[in-house]
Structure 1
Amino acid sequence: MPQVLEFKLPDLGEGLTEAEIVRWLVEVGDVVAIDQPVVEVETAKAMVEVPCPYGGVVTARFGEEGAELPVGAPLLTVAVGSVESSVTGAGSGAGAAGAEPSGSGNVLVGYGTGAPPVRRRRVRPEGLSAPVAAGAGVGAGVGAAAAVASAAAAPGEAAVSGRGADGVRGPVAVVSPLVRKLARQHDLDLRQLAGTGPDGLILRADVESAIRSAAAAPVAAPVGTSAATPAAPPAAAAGRTTAAGGPAARPVGERIPLRGVRGAVADKLARSRREIPEATCWVDADATELMAARAAMNGAGGPGAGPKVSVLALLARICTAALARYPELNSMVDMEAREIVRLPEVHLGFAAQTERGLVVPVVRDAQARNVESIGAEIARLTEAARTGTLKPAELTGGTFTLNNYGVFGVDGSTPIINHPEAAMLGVGRIVPKPWVHEGELAVRRVVQLSLTFDHRVCDGGTAGGFLRYVADCVEQPTVLLRTL
Structure 2
Amino acid sequence: MALFSFRLPDIGEGISEAEIVNWHVAVGDRVEEDGRLADMMTDKATVEMESPVAGTVVKLAGEPGDQVAIGATLVVIETAEEVVQPVEPARVAAENPGVDEVEETAVTPQDRPAHGEPDRPVVAERNVSTPEAVAAEEVPKDHPAATDAASARERSGVLASPAVRARAKDLGIDLSQVRHDGPHVRHADLDAFLRYGSAQGYHAPNVSRARPDEAVRVIGMRRRIAENMAAAKRHIPHFTYVDEIDVTALDAMRADLNGARGARPKLTLLPLLIVAICRTLPDFPMMNARYDDEAGVVTRHGSVHMGMATQTDAGLMVPVIRDAQDMNVWQLSTEIARLADAARTGKATSAELSGGTITVTSLGPLGGITTTPVINRPEVAIIGPNRIVERPVFRGDDIVRAKLMNLSISCDHRVVDGFDAASYVQAVKRLLETPVLLFAD
Q: TM-score, normalised by structure 1?
A: 0.46
Could you tell me which residue of structure 2 aligns to residue 258 of structure 1?
Answer: 218
CA distance in 2 between partners of 1:447 and 1:319 (Å): 16
Could you tell me which residue of structure 2 aligns to residue 14 of structure 1?
Answer: none
Look up the equivalent residue of 1:342 and give its one-letter code: R
Look up the equivalent residue of 2:231 and give its one-letter code: R
Structure 1 unaligned spans of 5+: 1-251
Q: Aligned match of 2:347 in 363, 380, 389? A: 389
Look up the equivalent residue of 2:366 and give its one-letter code: F
CA distance in 2 between partners of 1:337 and 1:356 (Å): 32
Look up the equivalent residue of 2:282 and give its one-letter code: A
1:464 shift after superposition: 0.8
Could you tell me which residue of structure 2 aligns to residue 267 of structure 1?
Answer: 227
1:470 shift after superposition: 1.3
CA distance in 1 between partners of 2:295 and 2:343 (Å): 35
Aligned length: 230
Q: Aligned match of 1:349 in 307, 327, 333? A: 307
Could you tell me which residue of structure 2 aligns to residue 333 of structure 1?
Answer: 291
CA distance in 2 between partners of 1:300 and 1:413 (Å): 33
SS of corresponding position for 1:464: helix
Q: Aligned match of 2:383 in 425, 437, 456? A: 425
1:474 shift after superposition: 1.6
Specify whether residues 438 and 382 from structure 1 end up closer, same or farther in structure 2 by C-alpha distance, changes over 3 A only. farther
Pairwise CA RMSD: 1.7
- Per-residue CA distance 1:37-66 (angstroms, 9 max, x = gap): xxxxxxxxxxxxxxxxxxxxxxxxxxxxxx
Structure label with greater radius of gyration = 2
Could you tell me which residue of structure 1 aligns to residue 247 of structure 2?
Answer: 287
SS of corresponding position for 2:336: helix
| 1:76-475 equivalences in 2 (<5 Å) | 253-300=213-260, 304-475=262-433
CA distance in 2 between partners of 1:263 and 1:438 (Å): 53
Could you tell me which residue of structure 2 aligns to residue 107 of structure 1?
Answer: none
1:449 shift after superposition: 0.2
CA distance in 1 between partners of 2:403 and 2:308 (Å): 23
- Per-residue CA distance 1:353-395 (angstroms, 9 max, x = gap): 1222111111011112111111110010111122222122211
- Per-residue CA distance 1:145-171 (angstroms, 9 max, x = gap): xxxxxxxxxxxxxxxxxxxxxxxxxxx
8 Å CA contact 1:406, 1:430 repeated in 2:
no
CA distance in 2 between partners of 1:428 and 1:260 (Å): 30
1:310 shift after superposition: 2.0
CA distance in 2 between partners of 1:352 and 1:407 (Å): 14
SS of corresponding position for 1:468: helix
CA distance in 2 between partners of 1:408 and 1:262 (Å): 22
CA distance in 1 between partners of 2:292 and 2:312 (Å): 32
SS of corresponding position for 2:225: helix
1:406 shift after superposition: 4.1
CA distance in 1 between partners of 2:397 and 2:245 (Å): 16
8 Å CA contact 2:264, 2:330 repeated in 1:
no
Provide the identity percentage. 40
SS of corresponding position for 2:387: coil
8 Å CA contact 1:352, 1:385 repeated in 2:
yes
Could you tell me which residue of structure 2 aligns to residue 135 of structure 1?
Answer: none
Could you tell me which residue of structure 1 aligns to residue 78 of structure 2?
Answer: none
- Per-residue CA distance 1:442-474 (angstroms, 9 max, x = gap): 221110101101112221121111111111222
CA distance in 1 between partners of 2:242 and 2:291 (Å): 23
CA distance in 2 between partners of 1:327 and 1:334 (Å): 16
CA distance in 1 between partners of 2:371 and 2:348 (Å): 27
1:338 shift after superposition: 2.1
SS of corresponding position for 1:397: coil
CA distance in 1 between partners of 2:436 and 2:346 (Å): 38
Look up the equivalent residue of 1:463 and give its one-letter code: A
SS of corresponding position for 1:332: strand
Specify whether residues 379 and 330 from structure 1 end up closer, same or farther in structure 2 by C-alpha distance, changes over 3 A only. same
Specify whether residues 388 and 337 from structure 1 end up closer, same or farther in structure 2 by C-alpha distance, changes over 3 A only. closer
- Per-residue CA distance 1:214-270 (angstroms, 9 max, x = gap): xxxxxxxxxxxxxxxxxxxxxxxxxxxxxxxxxxxxxx9422111111111111010
